[in-house]
A and B are shown apart, each in its own frame.
Chain A
Amino acid sequence: MYLPRATLPALTIALLTLPVGLGLFFTLAPALGYMGAPGEAPFMRLMDWPGIAPATRLSLTTGFAATLLSLTITALIAAGWHGTRAFTALQRLLSPLLSVPHAAAAFGLAFLIAPSGWLARALSPWLTGWDRPPDLLIVQDSAGLALIAGLTAKEVPFLLLMLLAARSQTRSEAHARVATTLGYPRAIGWLLVAFPALYAQIRLPVYVVLAYSMSVVDVAMILGPNTPPTLAVQITRWMADPDLSLRGVAAAGALWQLALVLAGLALWRGLEALAARAGTALAMSGRRLPRLNASLRALGLALGLAVALSVLAGLASQALWSVAGYWSFPDALPDTLSLRTWGRHGPMLWPIAVTTLLIATLAALAALALVTGCLEAEARHGFRMGPAGRLILYLPLLIPQIAFLPGLQVLMLTLGLREGLWPVVLSHLTFVLPYTLIALSGPFHAVDTRYFTAAASLGAGPTRRFWRLRLPLLLAPLLTAFAVGFAVSVGQYLPTLLLGGGRVTTLTTEAVALTSGGDRRAIGAYALAQTAAALLPFALALAIPRLMFAGRKGMRGG
């Protein structure tokens, strides 16, 4: 089949930019008074909302703190432990956490650290003396500390994966080794020499984390403060308010949120310059800081373990809730165990799980085909993705979802398109594409090109080289990229809700709907099902290459 060489890249760029651009336009038009929006002077009303200053401040502080903390933990883990067994172990522990849906992780954490949570139950009353939970504001605290912790727990695995992928693209490790021979201890040497080069590679993912943390809705609803909530949560509430004139205020809020994220990114950029200057000054001073090195290593390991264990223990607590009978404070374990919750929800869970898997499979497959096509076109025709190209790639992740999805819904309706499965798959594709491209482009470029030269000299044309050589060589990374895309699709809440018109139910929409009630048993069951759905393709991505290339050790990595 002959395609003009730019077809797939053009299609991919359209899928990345069109939904964002059109969605933004149709969200913001009501805020600016077009399209006959109900309500007057939305911006005045937004600024008149008494919570606007604290909510804005909260979005900024929690977003910055979560990003800074996740980046620091990631850097400390890599700095102190790269090349050791502990690093491999920590990496194994953290990477499956990437696929744990945000809402499930947040719920687990909330139950873990609440005054009547699992930690307090385990220590009460024998250690704490509490036979009633203390009246302490831990979850939903006014400063957003619980929210920061929840976001950090989810972002460290992501940044670590990005860092690992970037390692192959820089000579960072070699540089760090040189620093070691110059007498720098492991962590200090790595931070001063390897980290700056690596950071340049993972800069956009870090921006994604910042934009996401500043505008997240589901995690902030579960762990964030409420008097007032963060800006994104408040916008969602305005959209859901029975007073329809608040839709205009919500649109104005979305614009404000967008401005806030852009300002946040600019501010971060400024901080980068300051940090670079401080780092250079430290390096030029020639100090080796051996004692700091030891504490940094210990801190990195402790924080890394804390992240992994908090998410895993949170999941374990939800598993326990899903089979719990009556379970009161301060019992560390439920009175009785029963399968009642699963018996009740099991029959409803199946069809929902099937829809979830279907959407995720379609979106992840489409993304994989497009991404592979783009990379192949790039390789054959020598396209290079410049900084602008990378920005486009990250666009759907940098613009807050809450700012463009509602507009996309209005657009679809205006065009007379029916809500349903396909719009949902397409909208998921917009978010799945960037992650798939991120996951695949490193391994794609890492394939030794001499294979292709050899094949070409044996008379194999480009198409044959692609199907018979490139794809089999890339089997493991292709499967991993598929799994990443799949997990991203499984976790999508807002696109599924808005573009499915409420008629497309996935494990995630169901879990978040249940969150608004208080039934921890049902939430536990759905959170587990959601996590299992996201983890399934990762397990397959590990298993399939092992089976197919049982006799070839070099082909099993990925």
Chain B
Amino acid sequence: MKYALAFATLLATPALAGPDPESLSDGLSAEEWQAVLEAAEGQTVYWNAWGGSTTTNAFIDWVGSRVKEEYGVTLEHVKLSDTADAVSRVLAEQQAGQNEGGAVDMIWINGPNFAAMKGQNLLFGPFAEALPNWQYVDVENKDVQTDFTLPVEGYEAPWAMAQVVFIYDEASLPEPPRSIPALLEWAKANPGRFTFPQPPDFLGSTFLKQALIDLNGGDPALSEPVEAADDYAASTEALWSFIDELTPNLWRQGRAYPQTGPRQLQLIADGEVDIAISFSPGEASTAIANNELPPTARTYVLESGTIGNASFVAIPYNSSVKSGAMVVANFLMSPEAQVRAQDPEVLGYGTVLSMDKLPEADRAAFEALDLGVATLSPAELGKAQPEPHPSWMTKLTEEWIEKHGVKE
């Protein structure tokens, strides 16, 4: 009752256009959610999300048309070339004292960007676990409550699962190397046919982490901040000797790198490289459908598994349309949006929902999906390895840049 009252006061005061985070920590009653829906109607939500992928853009566009129909929320996709642009925007607003009516209402975010925003108190919340569709989320088997080992605590809502896969062309490479040492042997025998996005690109840094985990898997130091590691040098020795041996055998002898993940797909299609790293198990199938990869492209994971994490949306503390943003975040976790996102013809992103928790009809919709010719089944993907603490990514990236990023 106390919360309902708080809500009523809130909605009566137009200046406070958003829900009160205090009231969200215990979940929302049906009436309270109804109040959020009413406040959301007519709001325009500016969703800042990376705009480099045609398929993601089309999906966000579809989300926009659905939330408009269903809830009267207008969704505007602010296409970023780098998520950090939005982070710095909110920071600039905080520095300028603009604590209301910020330009960013929702951000597609995870990992270091989330850590930075949460650390600077730039996020609204906790809200995610109060959303109605949270009930379907697979909190038991999917890593949706930590983001790179940082507790999420409801400050961001998960909407897609990602796991590292390697893309290759079956026609030119029938037997791809299924471990990091095997990759090195293969690269030495086939110089110039492999590369990875240049760190600090997210996927490039992920490649470093993946190599680290594959080379000394199970190192408990990885889940702690890197500063706490007793012997950082010993933990990373194998990684750097791998990178040192690999680099001269890379595409362009490691003197140039693709700048982003999707660029690698173009390199495969151009016949310049044979293997690419991806963080989206369905990306290859989708790219085949879009003529961006040859029809013979396939994916694989390493023998001992690959890292996985969740993609989230977060709401900046100074958004004036928090209700609208919550409605969109909730819709993204709905079975309808999740089925569509998993469809390889659309996005091919893994769902965050638990099949066991879904109503029968929704489960059937998931089961009816054809995941696409190049997408591995959940069994083939295996359970994802957990991400190391974000400080590892920062440290590895810094060290890589120092060793290899500026040497020309």
Contact = CB atoms under 8 A, between A and B. Distances in A.
Contacts of B93: 413
Contacts of A509: 79
Contacts of B51: 510, 513-514, 517
Contacts of B253: 135, 137
Given A328-B269, A514-B51, A519-B53, A503 B78 contact: yes
B260 A517 contact: yes
Given A502-B103, A513-B51, A137 B84 contact: no
Interface residues of A, number: 67
A518 B89 contact: no
A519 B293 CA distance: 11
B393 to A, nearest CB: 10
Contacts of A137: 252-253, 255-256
A70 interface: no
B294 interface: yes
B54 A516 contact: no
Contact of A501 (B89, B192, B259): B89
B52 A516 contact: yes
Interface in B245-285: 251-266, 269-272
Given A239-B88, A519-B262, A519-B292, A132 B271 contact: yes
Contacts of A520: 266
A326 B291 contact: yes
Contacts of B294: 326, 328
Interface string A127-157: 0000011011101111000000000000000
B23 interface: no
Contacts of B260: 516-518
Contact of B408 (A35, A142, A247): A142
A413 B92 contact: yes
A115 interface: yes
Contacts of A344: 54, 58
A409 interface: yes
A168 interface: no
A492 to B, nearest CB: 15
A136 B256 CA distance: 10
Given A225-B256, A502-B85, A519-B292, A51 B406 contact: yes
Nearest to B390: A242
Contact of B262 (A132, A348, A517): A517
Contact of A518 (B76, B257, B264, B401): B264
Contacts of B406: 49-51, 54-55, 227-228
A243 B92 contact: no
Which of B53, B61, B103, B406: most chain A CB closer than 10 A? B406
Interface stretch (B3-11, B112-120, B224-232, B338-346): B112-120
A329 interface: yes
A366 interface: no
Which of A114, A115, A142, A413: most chain B CB closer than 10 A? A413
B72 interface: no
A512 B260 CA distance: 13
A239 B84 CA distance: 8
Contacts of A416: 98
B272 to A, nearest CB: 5
Nearest to B258: A518
Interface string A21-40: 00000000000000110000
A243 B397 CA distance: 12
A518 B61 contact: no
A247 B198 CA distance: 21
Which of A243, A324, A505, A516: most chain B CB closer than 10 A? A516
Given A328-B270, A410-B95, A348 B61 contact: yes
B381 to A, nearest CB: 24
Contacts of A136: 252
Nearest to A497: B85
B191 interface: yes
Nearest to B77: A505
A412 to B, nearest CB: 9
A241 B408 contact: no
A102 interface: no
Contact of A517 (B48, B53, B116, B272): B53
Contacts of B252: 135-137
B396 to A, nearest CB: 14
Contacts of B91: 244, 247
Nearest to A136: B252
9 contacts: A133-B270, A227-B254, A242-B83, A242-B116, A326-B269, A328-B270, A416-B98, A502-B48, A518-B258
Given A416-B98, A514-B54, A518-B258, 15 more contacts: A133-B270, A135-B192, A140-B256, A225-B256, A227-B198, A241-B200, A247-B91, A326-B294, A348-B61, A501-B89, A517-B53, A518-B52, A518-B263, A519-B266, A521-B292
Interface of A: 35-36, 49-51, 54-55, 114-116, 132-133, 135-137, 139-142, 221, 225-228, 237, 239-244, 247, 324-330, 344-345, 348, 409-410, 413-414, 416, 418-419, 497, 501-503, 505, 509-510, 512-522
